[in-house]
Amino acid sequence: MPDSSFDTVLIANRGEIALRAVEVCRALDLKTVAVYSTADRDAAHVAKADRAVCIGPAPASKSYLSAEALLHVAQGTGCGAVYPGYGFLSENATFARRCGEEGIKFVGPAADTIADMGDKAKARAKAAALGVPVVPGSDGVFTKSEAARREADRIGWPLLLKARAGGGGRGMRVVEAPDAFDKAFGQASREAEAAFSDGAMYLERFFPRIRHIEVQVLGDGRGEAIAYHERDCSVQRRHQKLVEESPSPAVDAALRSRIVEAALSLTRGIRYEGAGTVEFILEPDTGEFFFIEMNTRIQVEHPVTEMRADVDLVAAQFRIAAGEGLDAFVRDDHDQHGHAIEFRINAEDWRRDFAPSPGRIEHWQAPGGDGVRLDTAMGQGLTVPPYYDSMIAKLIVHGADREDAIRRATGALSAFECGGIATTADFHRWLLGQPDYIHGRVDTRWIERTASSDDSRRLSA
């Protein structure tokens, strides 16, 4: 670590990313202050941090989403930096700005960058101005369906309604025909208002069968940036990612070069600082790709890149925040090797429409072996609370090629055991037996089509 203005970090998150941040800080000789809700009193990140402070009751709105409480703890414990992880306040421009006003380093991009990239219309405009291909869509946002309908007729059908401040599939609707537009607009706008206090909607052309491709980037905040090979996040359910892998089965070397260069153009053009992800949709048949958004934080699936490039992206976040340049993180094509796949293990019963399954973990057996990694803060005897995101672990495998990675994943998933609650491990075991997945023929709507064309007995076989 270079000389910096901070030696103590507030870890403003929970679960595996909070535990990971604590461990990385320890390796970098940084002290940590963990925060926790009453539901997370016995959490692993609480036990491993140098200090821990209860920040409020179980509901996230009264604990992990309380910017004032987080800032109060940071100031009271002498923290010079705040690490937001992903989720919660990680992409909240107001919180990042408040940190700066209080003289606390926000480990991430500038507040204005978060605000601009969080506004889909502004992000689209910036990308287009930098020569990055964008999806045909509206130049602005709409709060009334009447005005939006006229723009929809210009863009063409089918189209996608997206919340200006959206994320995780909330405030998003596919509209197949004009007669369904008004109802869908109202539903999406109300959902966005409830989730983000912003009901403004953006319109873009909808492509029925596409792959979701993203590029991991690092920026120094001064206009320099590096990018790694693409990740393919096409195995999704209702816009929620379930599996991520790199490289994409649908991307060859020439296409990869074009996608990576587009991601770099945006990252450099906005003078991005820290770790981020530039996301695209790809039409495999034509090779056309379009920018859809930039996530101004570390991604859940960042270990896929770490496994292939032998880089610690969480440590990179801290080192860049402390003023270090990018030279240590550069990886060329020869440094990024093999194939990596991440499986999100959620506390959900996939046979019951992925219903949440919180509760006490009665039995836990983690897989191991060469090329197998499990990122988690859970274990036997711990309880999965019902208040937060249902992800309890990330199983990442790395092999010489995709076939080898799938083979290792099959073995790792067979060895993984979690008793007492339902998990999506069974879904992943099923997935690895599907010819479409094995041969790389999935798209972002493949799960919905496959599930709707099969019955639960066959899916769980």
> 309 and 177 in one domain?
no
121 falls within a domain: no
Q: What is the pLDDT of residue 135?
A: 87
217 falls within a domain: yes
CA dist., res. 163 & res. 199, Å (int): 7
CB 25 within 8 A of CB 9: yes
> 216 and 185 in one domain?
no
Q: Which two tokens stand for residue 223?
A: 């206009």
> 329 and 277 in one domain?
yes
For residue 17, the domain's CATH number is 3.40.50.20
Domain end residue (candidates: 205, 222, 250):
205
Distance of CA 339 to the CA centre of its chain: 19
Considering 297, 344, 373, 408, which one is annotated as catalytic? 297
| CA angle (20, 23, 27) in 5-degree steps | 135
113 falls within a domain: no
CA dist., res. 169 & res. 182, Å (int): 19
Tell me if residue 420 falls in helix, strand or coil.
Answer: coil
171 falls within a domain: yes
Number of folded domains that form the chain: 3
- Gyration radius from the chain CA atoms: 21
> 427 and 408 in one domain?
yes
Count how many Cα atoms sit within 13 Å of the Cα of residue 72 in the half-sphere of its side chain. Answer: 10
> 392 and 290 in one domain?
yes
> 196 and 246 in one domain?
no
Domain end residue (candidates: 189, 205, 221):
205
For residue 360, the domain's CATH number is 3.30.470.20
129 falls within a domain: no
> 163 and 266 in one domain?
no
Q: What is the pLDDT of residue 165?
A: 82
CA dist., res. 132 & res. 256, Å (int): 14
> 316 and 344 in one domain?
yes
> 195 and 217 in one domain?
no
Domain containing 186: what range?
Answer: 136-205
Per-residue pLDDT of the chain (461 residues; tens, 9 = 90+): 655 679 999 999 999 999 999 999 999 999 999 999 999 999 999 999 999 999 999 999 999 999 999 999 999 999 999 999 999 999 999 999 999 999 999 999 999 999 999 998 899 999 999 999 998 888 889 999 999 999 999 998 999 999 988 776 788 999 999 999 999 999 999 999 988 889 999 898 888 899 999 999 999 999 999 999 999 999 999 889 999 999 999 999 999 999 999 999 999 999 999 999 999 999 998 999 999 999 999 999 999 999 999 999 999 999 999 999 999 898 888 899 999 999 999 999 999 999 999 999 999 999 999 999 999 999 999 999 999 999 999 999 999 999 999 999 999 999 999 999 999 999 999 999 999 999 999 999 999 888 765 544 344 44
For residue 160, the domain's CATH number is 3.30.1490.20
Q: What is the pLDDT of residue 68?
A: 97
1 falls within a domain: no
Give the single-character DSSP code of 431. H
Q: How far is CA 460 from CA 373, 393, 452, 455, in A?
A: 25, 21, 14, 9
Q: Which two tokens stand for residue 249?
A: 């089965």
263 falls within a domain: yes
> 406 and 342 in one domain?
yes
297 is an active site residue? yes
Domain end residue (candidates: 107, 122, 145):
107
Q: What is the pLDDT of residue 363?
A: 97
> 176 and 69 in one domain?
no
> 255 and 196 in one domain?
no
394 falls within a domain: yes
